[in-house]
Structure 1
Amino acid sequence: MTCDEALDEYRVPGTATCADARKGIGRGILNNNYQMKYVNTDPGATGPGGVPIRSASEAALRLPSGAKRIEYARLYWGATRGMDTLNGPQVLGLAQVRSVALKIPGEGFYRTVTADSDVGYMKGEMEYGYQATADVTAIVRAAGAGSYTVANLNAVVMPYAWGSWTLVVAYENDREPLRHLHLWDGYRTVKVDSPPVVLTLDGLGVPAESPTGAKLDYIAYDGDRTLGGEHAEVRSTTGVATPLSGPDNPAGDLMNSTADGMSRTPADVNTFGYDADEFDIHNAVSPGDTGLTLTFSTLDDGFQIGAVYTAVDRK
């Protein structure tokens, strides 16, 4: 989702233009303040069953030199499922959000990908959100590196709306250090003026000697740029609480609609409610640790956590 430049006159007074908001420039540049619309990088195309493509965006899967076999791949997609309006709630049925269309490198057509587990969803004060996910290992293993397009991700289209997708891939590469990889997923809402959300994540796998590298990534939704107050800290089995922050995710605005290090189309700085962020946590874990506790809280900006994944060097 992105702001609708054709309806810029209806943005909240005093906020930046839609064009500047996409660049991350100006005041009030969050989805609450704009008429929103689907991103569509493939207008005029048709999907499975001849259904028109009404939303589409692309991202490049880049594999480093020496990468051999893709061991695992999982697709996540999430969006605003509904909104309370003056005419009552407008909410998409779960059947409407369980599938998306996927186009892989080297193919000119779309295939349907359907969630292989329960759809996570929530009801906020006025907004409904969801996340769905599917194992796409066989598809991505066969296709390999290149441009992937996810289309017809369903959302309500109005102010406050957001929508996005993520492809998480684990691959084998003998040229890189041996690593312990772990992926946890679910759907938890972090609300303003509510107790912190604590996630206990087992299976970390830190080696007995001091780790030389450890990364943590998360997928989050509805974090608003310039509307701060979000806080996250990580504590390993034997470690101390360490706040998460980084160059693109300052401590005062952690969930700020950024997608770290991705080659994507459109490549707008401001994603209007989607975060895919990475943090170096090697100083936050200790030899022999087997788990993490992640604590999320917020003062002003509610958000949802969809997945967390780690990569810890074993040797």
Structure 2
Amino acid sequence: MKFLSIIFIAFLGINTAIAQDATVAVDSTLLSGVTFKSVNEFYIFGDATVIGNNLLSEDSKKPFNNKQEDNDNIKMKYVDIDDNPETFCSSQAKLVLPEDFKKIVYAGLYWTATYAYEKGVRKPVNNDFIYSGNGERSPIINQVKFKLPNQEYQNVVGEVIYDGSKDEIHSINSPYVCYADVTKLLQDTKEQTGNYTIANVKATEGYLSGGSAAGWMLYVIYQTPTDNPKYISTYNGFAHVNDKPIDIKFKNFKSIDYGNVKTSLVVSALEGDNNIDLDECAIIKANSKQFQSLGNAVRDQQNFFNSTITNNASVNTERFPNSENTLGFDIAQLQIPNYNNQIISNDISETTMRLKTKSDRFYLYFTAFQTEIAQTLFDDVVQETKPISKNAKIEPEVVRSNPSTISNADPKETSRTAYLYNKKGLNSNAFRYLKGKKSTPVVGIEGGYYVITNTFLEQERANNWKDSLIKKGFDADVFVNSKNNWNYVYVLRSDSAEEAFKLMEELKTNYRYRDTWIFKANLD
């Protein structure tokens, strides 16, 4: 398919680095379509997952597994699995949540298709085809039916992100994308793990110039115990990716200070054909201007968008129908293979994804980014945003619908001001958060509030820092956190949150100890 939309799900494996000019692409500024914008961002102990399926194929129920064929040469028809007279198309996918998940905090539903008219035909003329259509295009594209596990259909009305029928550049195949926030629907249902079905997404059947395609995706963020807090953000828009690269920048985070950084992406699109290559998804390497092309066992570096629905290195088969070739609809979820932190390094605060193609064109409409973040950043964001109940049972999450930018300016490029820490005191949100937050279970140490001045992956560096503190008169020591095997250097263990908080605040007035924080262990 020559014209399609993309869902970007995750980062894929890497083999070779490709040097590219980091200034040629536009950062979410498009000649046509809709500029990508942040939908929301979460600072959370949790994770995210994505499901979806296509809605046009060769057969209404049978999976289509011919990977050498594309939608240009197929007389497309609606997928319709439910035999329900109220639906003209429907497909299904299974959402699986971990047993220890606490709650769903966000669910975004997207549907997209090429829709120039109801049905299209083609006639051969001089070794080419002439396309025409019949059936008036419905103006209502933002209404679908949505079925949760073991429930009946309910109507969902979404926001039209983009409608190509109103854009001269895209009117020939008229791609569109719609979005609905369905968080409350998922939160209120008793069964959240299970099969989800979407119906009545309008698209062009038959033949369409460039091929016709349609599909849906559901992106879910949920709260669950994790070793480190995470930053998870979602973006939507509509980008026609052709011979000019498109860059999307992710920021407002600060990766973990030590250890391997776990980062992933999700992308979704109406996309190019499986058998047309030279389309790429890349990410900039840390502290460089080089972009690393991504790929894995199911997505080639030179044919990233290949009409599949994948989770990391596997095709998602928990769908009905579970076609291996989704004929112009893509969802990719992937953990970035961040070997030796070459892509996302420790203490990094922004990165850039680049999409490009040399032959096959595609439409990107969604991307999501998540990475582990520093505990200090998580604490600061939570403390500044909301008071914490003393009876809190799980770590809080923070959502920003209109994200503010966390300043990460280069000190060489800005005027430096004197370091100053303003104490918050025992009546602050910061102290209430400390009292109310869940403690971390750690094997081999006494319960209490630990005032941490630094953490190290290497034991030798931790001991050197401890010795330097002792020489300055501190009663310093080290313990190993059994959850991540890092060495925590502390100057106080106390049963009193008040005592620990006062010492932390006193230390933070000194620039050398500005990153001091409190680790609450074995108290629940």
Place the TM-score, normalised by the shorter chain, in its bin.
0.7 to 0.9
TM-score, scaled to structure 2: 0.52
Show structure 2 runs of 5+ residues with no match.
1-54, 121-129, 375-524
SS in 2 for 1:42: coil
1:92 aligns with 2:137: yes
Q: Which residue of 2 aligns with 1:35?
A: 75
What CA deviation, in whole Å up to 9, does each residue of 1:255-281 have, x standing for no partner?
101101332111010000111112332
More helix by share: 2
Q: Which residue of 1 aligns with 2:277?
A: 228
SS in 2 for 1:260: strand
Q: Which residue of 2 aligns with 1:243?
A: 293
Which of 287, 308, 311 in structure 2 is aligned with 1:258?
Answer: 308
Q: Which residue of 2 aligns with 1:113?
A: 156
Task: Report if aligned partners of 1:206, 1:288 keep a CA contact under 8 Å in 2.
Answer: yes
- Inter-partner Cα distance in structure 1 for 2:92 and 2:232: 25
Q: Which residue of 2 aligns with 1:10?
A: none
Bigger mean CA offset, 34-43 vs 227-236: 227-236
SS in 2 for 1:241: strand
More strand by share: 1
Bigger mean CA offset, 134-143 vs 277-286: 277-286
Q: Which residue of 2 aligns with 1:155?
A: 203
- Inter-partner Cα distance in structure 1 for 2:259 and 2:109: 33
Show structure 1 runs of 5+ residues with no match.
7-18, 47-51
- Inter-partner Cα distance in structure 1 for 2:99 and 2:72: 42
Which of 349, 352, 356 in structure 2 is aligned with 1:290?
Answer: 349
- Inter-partner Cα distance in structure 2 for 1:138 and 1:205: 30
- Inter-partner Cα distance in structure 1 for 2:227 and 2:143: 35
Deviation of 1:154 after TM superposition, in Å, equals 0.5
What CA deviation, in whole Å up to 9, does each residue of 1:156-180 have, x standing for no partner?
1122110000000000112564322
Q: Which residue of 1 aligns with 2:267?
A: 218
Task: Report if aligned partners of 2:249, 2:350 keep a CA contact under 8 Å in 1.
Answer: yes
Bigger Rg, which one: 2
Identity of aligned residues (%): 22
Bigger mean CA offset, 173-182 vs 302-311: 173-182
What CA deviation, in whole Å up to 9, does each residue of 1:221-253 have, x standing for no partner?
122111111022112673442111121110121
- Inter-partner Cα distance in structure 2 for 1:4 and 1:30: 10
Bigger mean CA offset, 31-40 vs 221-230: 221-230
Task: Label 1:89 to 1:124 Cα distance change in 2 as closer, same or farther (>3 A).
Answer: farther
Deviation of 1:128 after TM superposition, in Å, equals 1.9
SS in 2 for 1:199: strand
Deviation of 1:64 after TM superposition, in Å, equals 0.8
Q: CA RMSD in A?
A: 2.6
Task: Report if aligned partners of 2:66, 2:324 keep a CA contact under 8 Å in 1.
Answer: yes
Q: Which residue of 2 aligns with 1:22?
A: 64
- Inter-partner Cα distance in structure 2 for 1:175 and 1:290: 21
Task: Report if aligned partners of 2:113, 2:202 keep a CA contact under 8 Å in 1.
Answer: yes
TM-score, scaled to structure 1: 0.83
Q: Which residue of 1 aligns with 2:24?
A: none
Task: Report if aligned partners of 1:206, 1:289 keep a CA contact under 8 Å in 2.
Answer: yes
- Inter-partner Cα distance in structure 2 for 1:206 and 1:314: 4
Task: Report if aligned partners of 1:211, 1:312 keep a CA contact under 8 Å in 2.
Answer: no
SS in 2 for 1:82: coil
- Inter-partner Cα distance in structure 1 for 2:360 and 2:161: 26
